[in-house]
Amino acid sequence: MTKKILVTGADGFIGSHLTEALVRAGHDVRAFVLYNSFNSWGWLDHCGKDVAGKFEVHTGDVRDPFGVREAAKGCDVILHLAALIAIPYSYHSPAAYVETNINGTLNVLQAARDLGIRRVVHTSTSEVYGTAIFVPITEEHPLQGQSPYSATKIGADQIALSFHRSFGLDVTVCRPFNTYGPRQSARAVIPTIITQILSGKSSIHLGALSPTRDFNYVADTVRGFMAMMDAPVAGEVVNFGSNYEISVGETARLIAEVIGRDIEITTDERRLRPEKSEVERLWADNTRARELAGWTPAYGGRDGFARGLAETVAWFSDPRNLAAYKADIYNL
């Protein structure tokens, strides 16, 4: 059934892919993008030709409750993705993360409550689990704020769930593990590796190589959000992950294999997290997503990861896309 959907953070990596998918599915989409004097809509300026002009754009700032309320008017569902996400940047600007991730989420929830929005899907992150105490990580895993970023996301998640428990607001917490794919910022490890290799570097600069991650291709994450709109998951937290664990070092070697280059890896001290802040292991249990929302990853396992990497490399290999990245500069 067609819905009027507000997507916050629609100008970002996942948000732009989600906006496109919703439009293609026939929904009436209002894209909430960060106001700026350049009138840029972020990645939505580069959306597919079949989607361009078929969604509404509302510029504003999730930190402003008045603008958020205006954007939410007339909507059935809010998919809340707007957030500050870079972990290194959160070390020296933590107040910005509190204002955006916690207060911004509160603004979305309060608007939804006041306006009678049918459902809010709030975006969490696997970083809230910290280094795995047990694997695979279920939604019952303890929460550990190992960075200001993850601490604010824990706070935002709990605020969201409190509105369900306190006021009966239909809220679901979507917890994607490490999403990757076309358009992702170079502050993430996979674009960092790809852009360095495609820029002709044979010595790749990275941080810690031993931590493991459960990488989730962006198309799978988008399907997860769409599944959450109608699934019987009010008040639930649901992981979206591929249920496949791989180290950062192995990931770099697999990317080099996909591209067809030989590389050496150099540890860049600037890219290392503080020792107690590094999340050493992430590996998702996606059972609940399958049982409650009917979601399974199309890019699961090593073979699926290799397919997702090939599609990501193909996008970055377009000179127009690669030119948007500064491969020789460490991106906080």
Domains in the chain, ordered, with CATH? Answer: 4-182+215-242+287-299 (3.40.50.720), 189-211+245-280+304-322 (3.90.25.10)
Rounded distance between C-alpha atoms, residue 312 and residue 119, angstroms: 32
| Residue 36 contacts residue 60 (beta carbons within 8 Å) | no
Radius of gyration of the chain, Cα coordinates, nearest whole angstrom: 19
Q: What is the pLDDT of residue 313?
A: 98
Q: Return the H-helix or E-strand segment holding 266.
A: strand 264-267
Written as tens digits, the pLDDT of the chain (332 aa) is 779 999 999 999 999 999 999 999 999 999 999 999 999 999 999 999 999 999 999 999 999 999 999 999 999 999 999 999 999 999 999 999 999 999 999 999 999 999 999 999 999 999 999 999 999 999 999 999 999 999 999 999 999 999 999 999 999 999 999 999 999 999 899 999 999 999 999 999 999 999 999 999 999 999 999 999 999 999 999 999 999 999 999 999 999 999 999 999 999 999 999 999 999 999 999 999 999 999 999 999 999 999 999 999 999 999 999 999 998 888 87
This prediction has a pTM of 0.97
| Residue 276 contacts residue 144 (beta carbons within 8 Å) | no
Taking the CB of residue 134, how many other CB atoms lie within 10 A of it?
Answer: 12
**CB under 8 Å to 270, separation ≥6 — which residues?**
330
